[in-house]
């Protein structure tokens, strides 16, 4: 738990320094609480984490949000989306890098080394938003067969993998937004799609799955 606590503390520090677009006194929730609330949804792997936490808090006084993440207040999921929309993804790179450094220093990467001591990083694209109605200047677009236009956001995810290593050994590593594909649209803010936070420090081989789109 000591190590987990130190990682959450490092994440909290990164969340505290997220850009805050609010003006005046509308700052009921700290950027730290907002960022950690978003992270906690994934950490607890529950799609309804916030509602769950609020219910818990009412019943028992203190929730995981307080005890595990050190949050003081739990913002609504809408507020989280509004506040984190547009936040630079590379803001969290150093937190990833630190975990990989620690993992390497403690021998955690030993069982994952292949090809003469290198680690294998699988890169794969995925989508986290798709709509025909809602869109923003950073959306990629595609035409569907019925003539309609779909707006979507996609990203490249990087995962450390090794043949023979079970799922529980696979650390999720890094993700980066893929810039908009329509030339009229604004490319999403993104850094180098190759996770330099790893390749700088750990000899790595990148495995890339290339998909050919049939959407035109
Ligand atoms: Zn968009």
39-90: pLDDT as tens digits: 877 777 666 666 666 665 665 556 666 777 788 888 887 888 889 888 887 8
Contact 47, 41 (CB under 8 A): yes
Q: Please name which of 3, 16, 199 lies closest in space to residue 92, comparing C-alpha atoms.
A: 16
Measured in Å, residue 196 CA sits from the centre of ligand 1 at: 26
Measured in Å, residue 186 CA sits from the centre of ligand 1 at: 10
Measured in Å, residue 113 CA sits from the centre of ligand 1 at: 38
SS3 call for 177: strand
Q: Where are the domains of the chain?
A: 2-84, 110-208
Measured in Å, residue 55 CA sits from the centre of ligand 1 at: 32
Measured in Å, residue 79 CA sits from the centre of ligand 1 at: 17
Give the DSSP letter of residue 184.
T
pTM: 0.65
Q: Can you tell me the distance from the alpha carbon of 213 to that of 134, in angstroms, rounded to the nearest whole number?
A: 22
Residue 17 has pLDDT above 90, yes or no: yes
pLDDT tens for 83-126 read 988 888 788 888 888 888 888 888 888 888 888 888 888 888 88
Torsion of CA 103, 106, 110, 116, to 10 degrees: 90
Measured in Å, residue 170 CA sits from the centre of ligand 1 at: 30
Measured in Å, residue 88 CA sits from the centre of ligand 1 at: 14
Measured in Å, residue 154 CA sits from the centre of ligand 1 at: 10
Contact 141, 213 (CB under 8 A): no
Instruction: Using a CB cutoff of 5 Å, list residues around ligand 1, an ion.
Output: 136, 138-139
């Amino acid at each position: 738990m000591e190590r987990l606590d130190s990682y959450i503390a490092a994440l909290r520090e990164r969340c505290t320094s997220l850009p805050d677009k609010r003006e005046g006194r509308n700052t009921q929730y700290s950027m730290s609480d907002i960022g950690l609330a978003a992270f906690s949804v994934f950490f607890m792997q529950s799609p309804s984490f916030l509602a769950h936490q609020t219910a818990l808090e009412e019943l028992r006084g203190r929730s995981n949000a307080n005890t595990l993440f050190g949050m003081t207040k739990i913002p609504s999921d809408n507020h989280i989306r509004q506040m984190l929309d547009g936040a630079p993804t590379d803001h969290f790179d150093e937190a990833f890098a630190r975990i990989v450094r620690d993992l390497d220093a403690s021998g955690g990467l030993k069982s994952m080394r292949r090809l003469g001591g290198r680690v294998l990083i699988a890169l794969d694209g995925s989508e986290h938003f798709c709509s025909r109605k809602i869109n923003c200047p950073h959306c990629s677009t595609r035409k569907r067969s019925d003539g309609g236009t779909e707006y979507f956001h996609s990203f490249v995810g990087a995962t450390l993998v090794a043949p023979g290593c079970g799922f529980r050994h696979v650390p999720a590593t890094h993700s980066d937004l893929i810039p908009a594909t329509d030339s009229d649209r604004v490319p999403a803010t993104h850094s180098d799609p190759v996770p330099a936070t790893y390749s700088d420090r750990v000899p790595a081989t990148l495995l890339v799955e290339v998909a050919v789109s049939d959407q035109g």
